[in-house]
Amino acid sequence: MSNFNVAIDGPAGSGKSTIAKKIAQIFNLYYLDSGALYRAFGYYLKKKNFDLNNENDIINALKTFNVKIINGDYYLFDEKLDFQIRTPEIGKAASIVAKNPFVREKVNEILRNIAKKHGVVIDGRDIGTVVLPDAEVKIFLTASIQERAERRYKELIGKGKNVKLEDILKDIEKRDKADSTRKIAPLKPADDAIIVDTTGKNIETVVKEIKNIILNKI
Ligand code: C5P
C-alpha cells in the first residue's frame, strides 16, 4: 500500500466516487466514500423513526450508530449497505444530518482512524479542507449542473429506478446549495486544491488527468 493521501471533493454527481475508486486502484490506496457514512447515518435515523432535524434524536442515534467497512463494503451493524442508501431520499437525509457538528465529528473520526493506517483516497465535500488538510494531493471535481443531473439520471435509470431528469436536477440544485452554504465544513475547494472540470470528458480522460497530477506531486 502507498502511504500518501488523496482528497477528492466536489458537488453531487461530479463523478467523485467513480474516479476516486480508479485512482485508489492505480496507486494502491484504500478508497473511502465519506458520503456513504452520512447516508448510512441518515438511513439509520429514518429506520429508527427518529427526526432528522431533532438534535436529541441525532445525539441518541450517534450513541449506537455502528458502521463497519469490510473489503470496501459498508455495514450498518450486520446489514450490508448498498442501493438502500443510494436513493434521492437518503441523499437528502444525508445532507440534513451532515449539518450537525457531532455527526461530522463522528464521520471524521472514522475516516481519520483508517487514514492513520493506510494511504487513502477519500471522496466527499470537506476532505481537503477539514478531514485531511495535510493530504498530499487535493482535487476538486466539478461539472455543469446539467451534466451532473444527466449522469445521476442515467445511473438510476440503469438500476431500474423510475425517476425524472427534472426532479434529479432540482434535487442536485438543492443539495449543492445546502452543502455549500452550511456553516460547518461547507463544500468548497481547499486553497491548495487543483480544480478539475469534468464537463464533456469521459472517465478515462479524467482519470488520466488526475493520475498525472498525482505523479507530479508525489
Ligand atoms: O457524496 P454523496 O452524495 O453520497 O453525499 C451525500 C451527502 O452527504 C452530501 O449531499 C453532503 O450533504 C453530505 N456529505 C458531507 N461531507 C462529506 C460527504 C458528504 O457533508 N464529506
Residue 88 annotated in ligand binding: no
Task: Look at residue 218 in the predicted model and tell me its pLDDT.
Answer: 87
Number of structural domains the chain divides into = 1
How many angstroms does the Cα of residue 98 sit away from the middle of ligand 1? 7
Distance CA 176, CA 15 (A): 14
Q: Is residue 49 part of a domain?
A: yes
Task: Look at residue 71 in the predicted model and tell me its pLDDT.
Answer: 87
Atom of ligand 1 nearest to the CA of 16: 1
Atom of ligand 1 nearest to the CA of 175: 10
Task: Look at residue 46 in the predicted model and tell me its pLDDT.
Answer: 97
Q: Is residue 197 part of a domain?
A: yes
Task: Look at residue 121 in the predicted model and tell me its pLDDT.
Answer: 98
Q: Is residue 1 part of a domain?
A: no
Distance CA 96, CA 56 (A): 15
Distance CA 53, CA 61 (A): 12
- Could you tell me if 12 and 156 are in contact, meaning their C-beta atoms sit under 8 angstroms apart? no
Q: Is residue 105 part of a domain?
A: yes
Q: Give the residue whose CA is nearest to atom 6 of ligand 1.
A: 35
Residue in the structure block whose three cell numbers are 439509520: 44
Task: Look at residue 95 in the predicted model and tell me its pLDDT.
Answer: 93
Q: Is residue 73 part of a domain?
A: yes
Residues of the chain with pLDDT under 70: none
Task: Look at residue 88 in the predicted model and tell me its pLDDT.
Answer: 84
Distance CA 172, CA 72 (A): 26
* Residues within a 6 A CB radius of ligand 1: 12, 34-35, 38-39, 91, 94-95, 98, 124-127, 175, 179
Task: Look at residue 56 in the predicted model and tell me its pLDDT.
Answer: 96
Residue 189 annotated in ligand binding: no
Q: Is residue 176 part of a domain?
A: yes
Provide the CATH number for the domain around residue 51: 3.40.50.300
Q: Is residue 218 part of a domain?
A: no
Residue 12 annotated in ligand binding: yes
Task: Look at residue 159 in the predicted model and tell me its pLDDT.
Answer: 86
Q: How far is CA 196 from CA 25, 26, 51, 151, 206, in A?
A: 20, 18, 37, 17, 8
Domain holding 16, by residue range, is 6-213
Task: Look at residue 1 in the predicted model and tell me its pLDDT.
Answer: 72
How many angstroms does the Cα of residue 86 sit away from the middle of ligand 1? 12
How many angstroms does the Cα of residue 111 sit away from the middle of ligand 1? 14
Helix runs in the chain, H state only: 16-27, 34-47, 55-64, 88-97, 101-117, 145-158, 165-181, 203-217
Q: Give the residue whose CA is nearest to atom 9 of ligand 1.
A: 95
Atom of ligand 1 nearest to the CA of 123: 21
> What confidence tens digit (pLDDT) does each residue in 154-169 have?
988 998 888 999 999 9
How many angstroms does the Cα of residue 34 sit away from the middle of ligand 1? 7
Residue 128 annotated in ligand binding: no
Q: What is the ipTM of this complex?
A: 0.98
> Which residues lie across from 4 on neighbouring strands?
none
Q: Is residue 10 part of a domain?
A: yes
Q: Give the residue whose CA is nearest to atom 1 of ligand 1.
A: 35
Atom of ligand 1 nearest to the CA of 36: 4
